[in-house]
């Protein structure tokens, strides 16, 4: 067992500058390395630490009987040199804004990360050996269940994109941190990596160092490029990065490469030629070992080959000297946009207005665009606060990952594109939930009501996608006033918040003073003779209101409810509708029949008999047409609502289940 190295264990800063202050391997041969030494460092400086990282990666995975030890061994030298000499962060304490960040983009090498954490004094050997066990903080892949992990990884190709966000945020906040990213070579196949290279190059994010652990072997066999390191380097250079190829087991070469990277005026990609399973003869560069823990006997043999290294080495890491404290995020006042009831304003326009106002109120609000900000009205924010507007171009994966990265440093990112195109980043959204990230998303051009552009541009699955994210909030305003109020509330909401905004101009329904609590709803039409309740949100609420008037003209009354909060949904009001409107609910939505508003309404009745829910939704592939034509063709317009109400929702009176 290693005893923790506390604050007081660190000695005074030696000559050589703060970078190398009090670094080195403690216990017995405690040494201090200065910057100048890195050029002539003895090759055994990192050997004990590297051996320990290997041994601990094996010990932890063998203890639980699963994991990816060989993927750890290939990167052990890279990480030993990083931890002891370059990473400016003290993992024993909560991360500070100026601390360097380390992202294991190859998340399956998590045991190596935890071995580093042990060597940094952040976790005990006992906790290391709790790897992958129920209730342990250290899971099979990195997650922010431990303070030294900022973003969850394990879905490949997402670490470098998150680093882009962190680096942009650091630049905005004037922070000196460096963001180190360990990538596997297999994940260099992911397009998201090239989005990160392109944006990192475009914005000259020189504080990012990508370290590619080129161990040649993927999960099932060799990678496309195997050890053609120069090919990876060429790609990185083609995107504007400095790139070099090194021997990833030559600790001095690694040290020099890191020092070079620290002086670079561009982002840097270090391609490190390594061997999977390096250090253990029966694992080294062998196929068939991916994702396999060693048996106890195999582990004993492996540790013997490693010289049965000591596993109590502790590196006394030091965080970066903090910069001046940032000013608080709330600086101004919120001037809510005001819309006249009855005027026609699109909810996308109101989103832009509210975001501009929010940006004036608080300086922590930033905006990220998928090169459609003139359509989403994110440009309204951009024009008012150009320093906090970030163009991510047509790279939606990077758009979401950058937002995840920016919230790591405490910013409140609003990322926006067409609702349909958030599907491009579904995996990033899924992982953002595992990261417990706070994101605000706005998806425009929802539904068939966009009209002529056709189905490729129509967000018809966004409510489904967003509802199925753990801990998410899903909002769908019907008028500008609502959209503005909800946009502001999102900034204070935990988890992933999504607002669905509409292309078409719609009538303003509520006056400026109205408030729209998340989880609430608005009953817009009610009578004592309501024969059904029409539950709608967004564009279809206006159809419901039209249907109400058409029905009222023939003496039929329906309740009309604005379910602007899709998740959480207003269960009490939905239940009241069922009670008071003859047990007949009509849900109408501009969305596929699966996973949207109707399912949210159904969930209200879980575990008990439910009322009759008639569901009007999009059920066949739409084409082009005018918004009016397409709403009617999909059977979600006012006429369709009138029709189902008039048909009396016949079966609901005599439920077939009681036949």
Q: What does 49-73 look like in DSSP terms, one character per residue?
A: HHHHHHHHHHHHHHHHT-S-HHHHH
In angstroms, what CA-CA distances link 248 with 76, 79, 134, 227, 251? Answer: 9, 10, 34, 12, 7
C-beta separation of 420 from 456 below 8 A: yes
Which strand ranges, in their side-by-side order, compose the sheet holding 530-536?
522-525, 557-562, 530-536, 584-592, 612-618
Q: How far apart are CA 79 and CA 82, in angstroms?
A: 5
Say if residue 568 is preceded by a cis peptide, omega within 30 of 0: yes
Output 158 or 482, the one with its CB closest to a copy of itself. 158
Q: Give the residue, chosen from 420, 532, 541, 645, that forms a contact with a copy of itself under the rule CB under 8 A.
A: 420
Output 50 or 403, the one with its CB closest to a copy of itself. 403
Please report, as residue ranges, which positions from 621 to 650 form the binding site for a copy of itself (by CB under 8 A): 621, 623-626, 629-630, 633, 649
Say if residue 291 is preceded by a cis peptide, omega within 30 of 0: no
- Asked whether position 295 contacts a copy of itself by CB under 8 A, the answer is no
Q: How far apart are CA 242 and CA 264, in angstroms?
A: 8
> What sign has the CA pseudo-torsion 639, 645, 650, 654?
positive
Stretch that binds a copy of itself, among 118-126, 310-318, 533-541, 599-607 (CB under 8 A): 599-607
Q: Which two tokens stand for residue 282?
A: 């029966």
Phi, psi of 19, rounded to the nearest 5 degrees = -55, -40
Phi, psi of 352, rounded to the nearest 5 degrees = -60, -45
- Asked whether position 202 contacts a copy of itself by CB under 8 A, the answer is yes
C-beta separation of 141 from 159 below 8 A: no
Output 1 or 609, the one with its CB closest to a copy of itself. 609
Contact characters 225-254, a copy of itself, x per CB under 8 A: ------x--xx-xxx---------------
- Asked whether position 557 contacts a copy of itself by CB under 8 A, the answer is no
Q: How far apart are CA 626 and CA 450, in angstroms?
A: 8
DSSP 295: P
Q: Give the residue, chosen from 398, 449, 482, 489, that forms a contact with a copy of itself under the rule CB under 8 A.
A: 398
Minimal distance, residue 627 CB to a copy of itself, in Å: 11
- Asked whether position 281 contacts a copy of itself by CB under 8 A, the answer is no
Output 141 or 525, the one with its CB closest to a copy of itself. 141
- Asked whether position 128 contacts a copy of itself by CB under 8 A, the answer is no
Q: How far apart are CA 39 and CA 258, in angstroms?
A: 11
Best CA proximity match to 404, nearest among 149, 52, 109: 149
Please report, as residue ranges, which positions from 50 to 109 form the binding site for a copy of itself (by CB under 8 A): 64, 66-67, 107
Stretch that binds a copy of itself, among 120-128, 134-142, 475-483, 521-529 (CB under 8 A): 134-142
Stretch that binds a copy of itself, among 94-102, 269-277, 469-477, 512-520 (CB under 8 A): 469-477
Output 46 or 389, the one with its CB closest to a copy of itself. 389
Q: How far apart are CA 77 and CA 58, in angstroms?
A: 15
Output 37 or 629, the one with its CB closest to a copy of itself. 629
Q: How far apart are CA 389 and CA 386, in angstroms?
A: 5
Q: How far apart are CA 76 and CA 274, in angstroms?
A: 10
Q: How far apart are CA 659 and CA 649, in angstroms?
A: 17
Please report, as residue ranges, which positions from 326 to 365 form the binding site for a copy of itself (by CB under 8 A): none
Q: Give the residue, chosen from 256, 430, 546, 646, that forms a contact with a copy of itself under the rule CB under 8 A.
A: 430
Four-point Cα dihedral 556, 559, 561, 567, nearest 10 = -110
- Asked whether position 519 contacts a copy of itself by CB under 8 A, the answer is no
- Asked whether position 3 contacts a copy of itself by CB under 8 A, the answer is no
Stretch that binds a copy of itself, among 336-344, 395-403, 484-492, 497-505 (CB under 8 A): 395-403
- Asked whether position 593 contacts a copy of itself by CB under 8 A, the answer is yes
Output 431 or 636, the one with its CB closest to a copy of itself. 431
Output 193 or 354, the one with its CB closest to a copy of itself. 193
Q: Give the residue, chosen from 28, 126, 134, 327, that forms a contact with a copy of itself under the rule CB under 8 A.
A: 134
Chain length of the chain:
659
Contact characters 144-163, a copy of itself, x per CB under 8 A: -x------xxxxxx------
Minimal distance, residue 463 CB to a copy of itself, in Å: 9
Output 15 or 656, the one with its CB closest to a copy of itself. 656
C-beta separation of 476 from 499 below 8 A: yes
Q: Which residues contact 576 (CB under 8 A, 6 or more apart)?
A: none
Stretch that binds a copy of itself, among 77-85, 462-470, 528-536, 556-564 (CB under 8 A): 462-470
Q: Give the residue, chosen from 179, 278, 372, 634, that forms a contact with a copy of itself under the rule CB under 8 A.
A: 372
- Asked whether position 467 contacts a copy of itself by CB under 8 A, the answer is yes
Output 99 or 187, the one with its CB closest to a copy of itself. 187
Stretch that binds a copy of itself, among 71-79, 97-105, 549-557, 611-619 (CB under 8 A): 611-619
Phi, psi of 516, rounded to the nearest 5 degrees = -130, 80
159-173 and 396-408 helices cross at what angle (nearest 10)? 50
- Asked whether position 133 contacts a copy of itself by CB under 8 A, the answer is yes
Residues forming the active site: 396
- Asked whether position 606 contacts a copy of itself by CB under 8 A, the answer is yes
331 in the Ramachandran plot: left (φ > 0), alpha (ψ -120 to 50) or beta? Answer: alpha
Output 178 or 567, the one with its CB closest to a copy of itself. 567
Minimal distance, residue 260 CB to a copy of itself, in Å: 21
Minimal distance, residue 654 CB to a copy of itself, in Å: 8
Q: How far apart are CA 195 and CA 204, in angstroms?
A: 14
- Asked whether position 126 contacts a copy of itself by CB under 8 A, the answer is no
**Size of interface with a copy of itself, in residues (CB under 8 A):** 126
């Amino acid at each position: 067992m290693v005893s923790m190295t506390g604050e007081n264990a660190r000695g005074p800063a030696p000559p050589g500058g703060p970078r190398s202050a009090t670094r080195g391997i403690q216990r017995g041969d405690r040494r201090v390395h200065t910057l100048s030494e890195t050029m002539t460092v003895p090759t055994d400086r990192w050997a004990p630490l590297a051996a320990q990282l290997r041994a601990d990666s094996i010990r932890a995975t063998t203890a639980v009987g699963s994991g990816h030890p060989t993927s750890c061994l290939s990167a052990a030298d890279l990480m030993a040199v990083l931890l002891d000499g370059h990473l400016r962060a003290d993992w024993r304490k909560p991360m500070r804004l100026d601390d360097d960040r380390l992202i294991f983009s190859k998340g399956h090498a998590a045991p190596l990360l935890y071995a580093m954490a042990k060597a940094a004094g952040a976790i005990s050997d006992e906790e290391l050996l709790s790897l992958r066990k129920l209730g342990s903080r250290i899971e099979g892949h990195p997650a922010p269940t431990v303070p030294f992990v900022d973003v969850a990884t394990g879905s490949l190709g997402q670490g470098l994109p998150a680093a882009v966000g962190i680096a942009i945020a650091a630049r905005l906040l004037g922070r000196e941190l460096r963001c180190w990213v360990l990538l596997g070579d297999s994940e260099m196949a992911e397009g998201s990596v090239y989005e990160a290279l392109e944006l990192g190059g475009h914005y000259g994010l020189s504080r990012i160092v990508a370290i590619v652990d080129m161990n040649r072997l993927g999960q099932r066999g060799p990678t496309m490029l195997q050890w053609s390191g120069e090919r990876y380097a060429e790609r990185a250079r083609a995107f504007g990065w400095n790139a070099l190829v090194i021997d990833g087991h030559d600790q001095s070469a690694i040290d020099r490469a890191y020092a070079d990277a620290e002086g670079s005026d561009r982002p840097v990609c270090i391609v490190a030629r390594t061997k999977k399973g390096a250090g253990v003869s029966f694992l080294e560069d062998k196929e068939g070992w991916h994702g396999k823990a060693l048996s106890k006997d195999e582990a004993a043999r492996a540790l013997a080959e490693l010289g049965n290294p000591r596993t109590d080495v502790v590196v006394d890491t030091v965080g970066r000297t903090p910069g001046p404290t940032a000013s608080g995020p709330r600086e101004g006042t919120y001037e809510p946009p005001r819309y006249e009831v009855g005027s026609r304003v699109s909810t996308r326009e109101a989103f832009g207005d509210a975001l501009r106002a929010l940006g004036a109120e608080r300086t922590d609000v930033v905006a990220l665009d998928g090169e459609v900000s003139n359509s989403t009205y994110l440009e309204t924010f951009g024009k008012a606060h150009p320093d906090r507007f970030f163009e991510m171009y047509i790279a939606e994966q990077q758009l979401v990952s950058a937002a995840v990265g920016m919230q790591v440093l405490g910013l409140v990112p609003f990322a926006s594109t067409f609702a349909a195109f958030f599907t491009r980043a579904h995996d990033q959204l899924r992982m953002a939930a595992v990261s417990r990230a706070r994101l605000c998303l706005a998806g425009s051009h929802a539904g068939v009501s966009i009209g002529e552009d056709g189905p490729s541009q129509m967000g018809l699955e966004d409510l489904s996608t967003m509802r199925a994210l753990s801990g998410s909030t899903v909002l769908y305003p019907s008028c500008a006033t609502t959209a503005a109020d909800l946009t502001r509330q999102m900034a204070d909401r935990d988890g992933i918040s999504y607002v669905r905004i509409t292309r078409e101009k719609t009538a303003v329904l509520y006056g400026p003073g109205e408030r729209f609590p998340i989880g609430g709803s608005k009953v817009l039409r009610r009578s004592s003779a309501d024969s059904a309740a029409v539950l709608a949100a967004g564009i279809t609420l206006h159809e419901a209101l039209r249907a109400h008037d058409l029905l009222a003209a023939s003496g039929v009354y329906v309740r009309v409810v604005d379910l602007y909060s899709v998740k959480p949904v207003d269960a009490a009001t939905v239940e009241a509708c069922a009670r008071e409107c003859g047990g007949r609910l009509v849900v109408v939505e501009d969305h596929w029949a699966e996973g949207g508003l109707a399912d949210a309404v159904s969930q209200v009745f879980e575990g008990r008999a439910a009322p009759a829910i008639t569901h009007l939704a999009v059920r066949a592939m739409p084409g082009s047409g005018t918004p009016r034509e397409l709403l009617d063709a999909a059977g979600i317009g006012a006429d369709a609502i009138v029709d189902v109400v008039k048909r009396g929702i016949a079966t609901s009176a005599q439920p077939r289940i009681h036949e």
